[in-house]
Structure 1
Amino acid sequence: MVWWRIDTSFVGIQSVTPYFFRNLIAYEMCPDFRNNFECCCYLYFMDCLIDDAEDVKELRSSGVIQNLLQRDEEVAKFFNDIGHDLPAKMCNQIYTTDAAPISKTYIQVRRQIQQHYSSRWRTFLAETRSTYFSSPWSLLAFLAALLGLILAVLQTWYTIHSPTN
């Protein structure tokens, strides 16, 4: 009996990767092989995370995947193509499948990512940072203006409430 283990902390995408993963999927679908469909679940999870080249760029910069192909668009196309061929389907984050069970851990991680992504406070902070504080000089100027405003308020308060001699 052969046991396959996919190291999900690092996936290098290169030209032979589609063939490798398609063979793993076919091997998992064999009726004589008892498994938990880890490869199908992992590929479906990555398909859920990756829609376009920007998603690949984000995952690559975080160290989740390594792109050994020429362009990030090719990696996005790979995961989107292989996601359509998987036997597992999930609709509206509800656990339904055709042949392979989707791991509850992947569903939980996907929900946490979606909650993080849709947080209004984080979105506001990210937009503010990218719009107004994109350079260190703008942050320094803002802090200097804030310090000047605080000193002016303190001076005014001290002038109004100063003890008269």
Structure 2
Amino acid sequence: MKTVVKLKRSEIYISVSDVLERYDISLRTLDRWIANRDFPKPRKIVGKRHFLLDAVDAWDCDQSGHDQQPDGETAFGMPVVSGLVLTYDDLVKAMTDRRKDLNLSCIELDALSGMQEGYANKLENWRRDYGRGMGPDTFPLWLGGLRLGLVLVELPRRPRKAKAS
């Protein structure tokens, strides 16, 4: 039987490679930051350096001059920008709302994401004659253009089946 351990956010550690990827820096730069820029000190876990995620986020906020995320909902330290998505319609609406929140036109989103011109409009209008659903090649482009990630959560109960229209 698998044991599930739930960690509080204040107990989550990230690896050196996660930090390097997060800031797109080299190991040498990270070592300089630790020595000269008050970057959080690592903790050795099984012989490897790890950083407390809360401390890294706080350092990041200090460097940017922004306050830490308000008490709103977060997932892995990042703000939640959508409500619950249970259907493809919910997903398309959430993606469309995000584009509008970023004040992007569909054409600008196409350019940012690397999608073909006019494709975001087709994705947002998938039920119409000129629309189309997304595929496995398009989904990461659409998410990336809107600076979004996907977090799956377990629901307390199974969602109801959609009624036949």
TM-score of the aligned structures, taking structure 2 as reference length: 0.18
Where relative contact order (Cα < 8 A, 6+ residues apart) is larger, the structure is: 1
Which has the larger helix fraction? 1
Rg larger for: 1
Query: Could you tell me the TM-score, scaled by structure 1's length?
Result: 0.18
